[in-house]
């Protein structure tokens, strides 16, 4: 092995057995973008699934409330029954944020925006990295910052963590691959 294979920038030796690769930091940054995009898609799909559940509860509440008001007028003899349905619909409205899926929907919606904004900035940085405007040391710092920002966003919105189901992960993986294929004419590595 030659001296140039064993030494990296500024003559720093690479770990034993690993030849120095001047494109490594750019490749690592790119993989981080792939992971970030995958996480953003995954949480967006989760948010959308929860939104359907929230919408179902809202629809049931609206139909029950409106139907009860109509029934009150149509069937005057059952005022107590219709009043109970209206009260139940109002109680459902007050308690909607207590349902775990409603709270998780808000968390997922906020995290979706945070990750997408982070991705926009990361892709902008990638363009500078790709054309060589940013050196390896700066790429390393930016990748570290990107990882920290993603972790902070995830921790802020899901402090107890988030474990998506396999179906969402599979859909997110496929959508992420498609995104990189269409946007960058590349197959995602992750």
**Six token digits for residue 38:** 């995958």
- Could you tell me which residues are beta bridge partners of residue 13? 7
Give residue 58's pLDDT band: very low, low, confident or very high (50, 70, 90): confident
List the one residue out of 53, 39, 43, 10 whose CA is nearest residue 188.
39
Rounded (10°) CA dihedral 104, 107, 108, 111: -160
Contact 111, 43 (CB under 8 A): yes
- Digit-coded pLDDT (tens) for 68-116: 566 666 666 666 776 776 677 666 666 666 667 788 999 999 999 999 9
- CA pair distance 106, 103, nearest whole angstrom: 5
> Which pLDDT belongs to residue 4?
42
> Which pLDDT belongs to residue 44?
98
| 185 torsion bin: left (phi>0), alpha (psi -120 to 50), beta (else) | left
- Digit-coded pLDDT (tens) for 15-40: 556 666 789 999 999 999 999 999 99
| pLDDT exceeds 50 at position 66 | yes
Give this prediction's pTM.
Answer: 0.73
> Which pLDDT belongs to residue 9?
47
**CA distances to 53, 109, 127, 145, 160 from 87, in Å:** 21, 29, 57, 51, 34
């Amino acid at each position: 092995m030659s001296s140039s294979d064993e030494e990296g920038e500024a003559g720093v030796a690479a770990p034993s057995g690993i030849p120095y690769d001047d494109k490594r930091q750019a490749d690592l940054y790119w993989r981080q973008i792939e992971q970030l995009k995958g996480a953003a898609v995954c949480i967006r799909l989760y948010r959308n699934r929860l939104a359907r559940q929230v919408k179902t509860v809202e629809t049931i509440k609206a139909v029950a409330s409106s139907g009860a008001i109509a029934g009150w007028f149509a069937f005057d003899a059952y005022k107590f029954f219709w009043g109970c349905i209206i009260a139940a619909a109002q109680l459902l409205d007050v308690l909607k944020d207590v349902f775990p899926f409603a709270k998780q929907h808000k968390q997922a919606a906020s995290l979706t925006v945070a990750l997408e904004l982070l991705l926009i900035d990361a892709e902008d940085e990638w363009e500078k990295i790709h054309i060589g405007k940013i050196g390896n040391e700066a790429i390393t710092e930016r990748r570290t910052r990107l990882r920290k920002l993603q972790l902070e966003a995830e921790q802020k919105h899901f402090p107890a963590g988030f474990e998506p189901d396999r179906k969402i992960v599979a859909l997110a993986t496929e959508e992420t691959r498609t995104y990189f294929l269409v946007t960058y004419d590349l197959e995602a590595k992750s």
